[in-house]
Amino acid sequence: MSKELDADQVAGNGLLDRRVFLRQGGGIIGAVGAAVGLAGYSRPVEAETLVVPEWTKKPGALFEPYTQPSKYETKVARGPIPPSPYNGIGPGSVRAPLQHLEGMITPNGVHYERSHNGVPDIDPAGHRLLIHGLVKKPLVFTLDALSRYPMTSRISFVECAGNSGGMYAEKPAEGTAQSLHGLVSCAEWTGVPLAMLLEEAGVDPSAKWLVAEGADAAAMSRSVPIEKVMDDALVALYQNGERIRPANGYPMRLLLPGWQGNMNVKWLRRIKLLREPAQTKDETSKYSLLLKEGKVAQFHFPLDAKSVITKPSPGVNMTSPGLYEISGIAWSGNGKITKVEVSADGGKSWAEAALSGPVLSKAITRFRLPWRWSGGPAVLQSRAIDETGYVQPTREKLIGLRGSRSQYHCNLITSWGVAANGEVKHVYA
């Protein structure tokens, strides 16, 4: 290794200072490029003359009313598609292709989906939102009526409480970032603050909770404490600038930034103000957090800080030794990500990654770190730290707290084993 890179090594097994790629004036291209052979990734001009390809010789395709991704990008797809027990409808989930995405936003077409009884075919003209219960004046809203209220936008992740549940298993499950962790996505949501609608209805001081109900065949219903609603709940109408996709709750969903996905009721049709939680089927038969020694926490709402490396990751393998950028996503339901650390030696030593801005509360944050892969075996890990000081736990620590029969809120540190041939696999460190 060159002197420059020796100096830049900040943790074991080739992890480099996060600023290496940012250096000005011959930094990367001069020192790092020459030292590790970045030049080897492109070809010298002499190797090939710039030919005029076929597609340059004739006029291109016509305009489309709504464009689709390139036909060469079919791997960027939700999956795996579960078999349907009921002729193409019914319960299940599909995961976002995390290892094929960049940045912080999930494109609408590949946002993960968890639907307990299929996607209802809702005509927006016939849809109503009812607010009733402990209010002075029950109200009903059409979509047109809601669209006249002032709107708010925020970028927020939604994550299923069951995401990564397979990581509690005794043996490391085979899989990709998508199949192991793909029940999380992040979008810009736009809609009307629920607090504004409740103010109009006039909340009775005795109301401490509300129950939100969906218009799907599952009639998904969850109780939400009123403080959360007054803080940042949104009746979301738009997802990344367009109407919410049918799979994600068209024409409106409840957005509870940072709280377990299940509570973000899709196809929202009813909100009832209550003194106490409603104890619906969806918060008693499921979504309670199993702790050690047979104890259960019925309600455990925010999702704790978590991260996963998406590049490299299973299926996104290493090719030849040399300089790489490790990249991944981190998020916390309790605020902003303040730091992500990366290890290339299975957690023995750590280097601080660079965070790609904007770093937003309860949103996905992209992290990056230069790594000089020697070509030897390595175990890559990332751990997220949020503004509350919370540190993403190791597998041992989380299982110590919850036991190994737990299912939900699994945010333990993931390990990707890199073999000498460059293949990446899920391992336990």
Ligand X SMILES: Nc1nc2c(c(=O)[nH]1)N[C@H]1C(S)=C(S)[C@@H](COP(=O)(O)O)O[C@H]1N2
Of 273, 277, 278, 274, nearest in space to 197 by CA: 273
Q: Of residues 187-226, which lie at the interface with ligand X (CB under 6 A)? A: 214, 216, 218, 220
Query: What is the total count of residues that contact ligand X (CB under 6 A)?
Result: 22
Calculate the alpha carbon distances from 193 to 189, 197, 241, 379, 425 in Å.
11, 7, 17, 44, 43
- The site partner of 265 among ligand X, Mo ion, none (C-beta below 5 to 8 Å per kind) is ligand X
268: CB partners within 8 A, 6+ apart: 129, 212, 213, 214, 215, 235, 249, 252, 253, 254
How many Cα atoms occupy the beta-carbon half-sphere of 21 within 13 Å? 18
- The site partner of 244 among Mo ion, ligand X, none (C-beta below 5 to 8 Å per kind) is none
Cα angle at 97 between 384 and 336, to 5 degrees?
Answer: 25
Which positions from 155 to 184 touch ligand X by CB under 6 A, shown as an x/- string? ---x-x------------------------
- The site partner of 203 among ligand X, Mo ion, none (C-beta below 5 to 8 Å per kind) is none
Q: Of residues 246-285, which lie at the interface with Mo ion (CB under 5 A)? A: 261-262
Q: How far is the CB of 17 from ligand X (least distance, A)?
A: 37
Q: Of residues 266-285, which lie at the interface with ligand X (CB under 6 A)? A: 266-267
- Give the number of other CB atoms < 10 A from CB of residue 145: 12
Q: Is 114 in the site for ligand X (CB under 6 A)?
A: yes
Which positions from 18 to 47 touch Mo ion by CB under 5 A, shown as an x/- string? ------------------------------
Which residue of 99, 179, 223, 248 would you call a contact of ligand X, by CB under 6 A? 248
Q: Which is nearer to Mo ion, 120 or 162 (CB)?
A: 162
**Residue 228 parent element (H or E):** helix 226-232
Piece of 198-206, 260-268, 337-345, 346-354 that binds ligand X (CB under 6 A) = 260-268
Q: Is 116 in the site for ligand X (CB under 6 A)?
A: yes
- The site partner of 304 among Mo ion, ligand X, none (C-beta below 5 to 8 Å per kind) is none
Q: Is 332 in the site for ligand X (CB under 6 A)?
A: no
Calculate the alpha carbon distances from 404 to 169, 292, 331, 355, 401 in Å.
7, 8, 23, 32, 9
Beta strands 337-343; 351-352: pairing state: antiparallel
**Residue 70, token pair as written in the block:** 């390139």
Q: Is 114 in the site for Mo ion (CB under 5 A)?
A: yes
How many Cα atoms occupy the beta-carbon half-sphere of 384 within 13 Å? 31
Q: Looking at this protein, which amino acid is placed at residue 386?
A: D
- The site partner of 101 among ligand X, Mo ion, none (C-beta below 5 to 8 Å per kind) is none
Give the DSSP letter of residue 238. E
Q: How far is the CB of 163 from ligand X (least distance, A)?
A: 8
- Beta-bridge mates of residue 366: 329, 356
Please give the residue ranges that form the binding site for Mo ion (CB under 5 A).
114, 160, 261-262
Task: Give me the residues that bind ligand X (CB under 6 A), please.
Answer: 111-116, 158, 160, 185, 214, 216, 218, 220, 247-249, 261-262, 264-267
